[in-house]
Amino acid sequence: MTGFHQSGALPAAVVAVAFAVLARVLRAVTDGGALMGAVIAFLLMNAAGLWGFPPLMAVFFLTLVATRWRTEFKRNIGVAERGGGRNAWQVLANLGAAALCALAASFFPRHSALLLVAAMAVLAEAAADTVSSEAGQAVASRPRLILGFAPVPPGTNGAVSPEGTFAGCIAACVVAWTAALCGVIGWPWATMVAAAGVAGMLFDSLLGAALENRGKMGNDAVNFVSTVFAADLALLGALLFRHGLM
């Protein structure tokens, strides 16, 4: 086992703290959310090196832009994200699975390549889910419930739209390509990461329609389970691909 890499721990900590301060200054997160984001950023960079930061930054930038796109319009129809930014639990729900994969990669370096594929799939899903929701709400198209495709109001749990789904797919691809470009994952894994991110996004909608709307799951739980689903799917695909079964 390797654990924490002392040579890279200080630069990773500096970058993680700077990232948390930036996110807080932009009011994208609360104080608790900033602290949680710093911990997750540090774990990712400890496992992947400083090049593990750009994919996380891509998620941050994509979700920030999507959330603030046509804010006034979304506020008028009652679907705008609450002010103050995301709290620690929301950040953990969206990115906690990536941190767990990165932590495992640090302690089990022999499997780090596969575990980082899973971590990047989590980031791809987190970006896809937020961007699809925010973009779909911003264009004011008539969304439909993913189960049964009945028309529903914007902001309904489990609602999907062509525009939002397309935007989410683009977001997942951007994160996957960033990870591959930075060398966190190999280019052969990029398509798998993007596909897992999109699958997780759709799984999130299914959980929202089937369970969240009925009060059986909260939003944070749905987000966390969906990111774990994306990570598992990417990990399974990577294992099958490595053994020549795909």
Give the residue extent of every domain in the chain: 6-242
**What is the per-residue pLDDT for 1?**
43
| pLDDT band, residue 233 (cuts 50/70/90) | very high
Over range 221-227, report the average pLDDT.
97
Summarize the confidence of residues 164-186 as an average pLDDT: 96
Q: Which residue has the higher pLDDT, 142 or 92?
A: 92
Exposed, middle or buried: residue 147 (CB in 10 Å: 0-12, 13-18, 19+)?
middle
CB 180 within 8 A of CB 186: yes
Report pLDDT for 92: 96
Max avg pLDDT among 6-10, 34-38, 159-163, 237-241? 34-38
Specify whether the CB–CB gap between 54 and 178 falls below 8 A: yes
In this predicted model, which residue has the larger pLDDT, 138 or 20? 20
Lookup: tokens for 94? 């969206």
Instruction: Calculate mean pLDDT across residues 125-152.
Output: 87
Q: Which two tokens stand for residue 156?
A: 């309904």
Residue 145 parent element (H or E): strand 144-145
Q: For residue range 186-206, list pLDDT tens digits in order.
A: 998 999 999 999 999 999 999
Burial class (CB in 10 A: 0-12, 13-18, 19+), 110: exposed
